[in-house]
Structure 1
Amino acid sequence: MELIKKNKELLRIILAACIIFVGVLHFVIPNIFAKLIPAELPYPLSLVYISGFFEILGGIGLLIPPVSHAAAWGLLTLFIFVFPANINMAVNQIQLPNIPNSPWFQAARLPFQAVLIAWAWWYTRPSDDEKQA
């Protein structure tokens, strides 16, 4: 655990880079993400663009100490709000290009969302490191 604490800032950069990358993908290949939006929600393409925008914004915010705390709360909230799309993918076995199409893989993605939520939550907590807001 101490090793993870020592690498908190490196892990912040990794999370930010991954979130920014996925956010950009929302604009590059939006139709793939739109397939994951539950049918009960209106305007799936708009929701994809909105979530992509906030992923990019949150990722950038994690890298800026004065706003990193707020960005972490924003990402945590976003990860909770996009969870229904992950459930929809697993329940309806939605196949995406270059993603393994197996019920096991789709179900295994669900707990990973909890990892992302916990990872973002970690940056909402006060830090001894002056780099964090």
Structure 2
Amino acid sequence: MKSNVKTSLTQNIFRILLALFMVYAGFSHLTFNRIDFQAQVPDWVPLSKDLVVVLSGIVEITLGLILLLWKKQRTTIGWFLSIFFVLVFPGNIAQYLDGKDAFGALNSDTARLIRLFFQPVLIAWALWSSGAWQTWRNSKK
């Protein structure tokens, strides 16, 4: 879906912030937070936890860079990023249900529960800042 929507300065600022956050998070998957991210990989995933963390880190870096740099497909990448956030959500739920600590701050059931409410925010942020949601709405008119 090609973008027919002009995004505002505010949307662009938030898109850039999200893209930078994704690149940073992806880099941290591959380096200093690698063990902590393994706590989010549910036990039922049939791959090594380290492989899942490495692959998701690479995907995060790629999505972040594309969101930052590839203007023509920005709305499409907004959808891909929101789908990515949906796909990793079971890991956040598993971390909460299994009571696994991570990142120093996720050391209680309350902190892990509160974190779950940020995933819909990330999904909305990706769709809004990329113009994906508005493009979809315009296509329905």
* Contiguous gaps of at least 5 residues in structure 2: 1-7, 136-141
Q: Give the SS at the match of 1:36.
A: coil
Matched, 1:59 2:52: no
Once the two structures are TM-superposed, the CA of residue 55 in structure 1 deviates from its matched residue by: 0.8
Kindly report which structure 2 residues correspond to 1:29-44, keeping only aligned pairs within 5 A, or say none. 29-43=33-47, 44=49
Aligned equivalents of 1:6, 1:97: Cα separation in 2: 33
- The equivalent position to 1:111 in structure 2, one of 117, 122, 132, is 117
Aligned equivalents of 1:53, 1:100: Cα separation in 2: 23
TM-score with structure 2 setting the length: 0.80
Select the structure with the greater relative contact order (CA < 8 A; seq sep ≥ 6).
2
Question: Where does residue 127 of structure 2 map in the other structure?
Answer: 121
Question: Where does residue 26 of structure 2 map in the other structure?
Answer: 23
TM-score with structure 1 setting the length: 0.84
Q: Match for 1:36: what amino acid? A: Q
RMSD of the TM alignment (CA)?
Answer: 1.6
* Contiguous gaps of at least 5 residues in structure 1: 128-133
Call closer, same or farther: CA 1:97–1:79 in 2, change over 3 Å.
Answer: closer
Once the two structures are TM-superposed, the CA of residue 100 in structure 1 deviates from its matched residue by: 3.9
Q: Give the SS at the match of 2:133.
A: coil
- The equivalent position to 1:101 in structure 2, one of 99, 103, 107, is 107
Question: Where does residue 52 of structure 2 map in the other structure?
Answer: 47
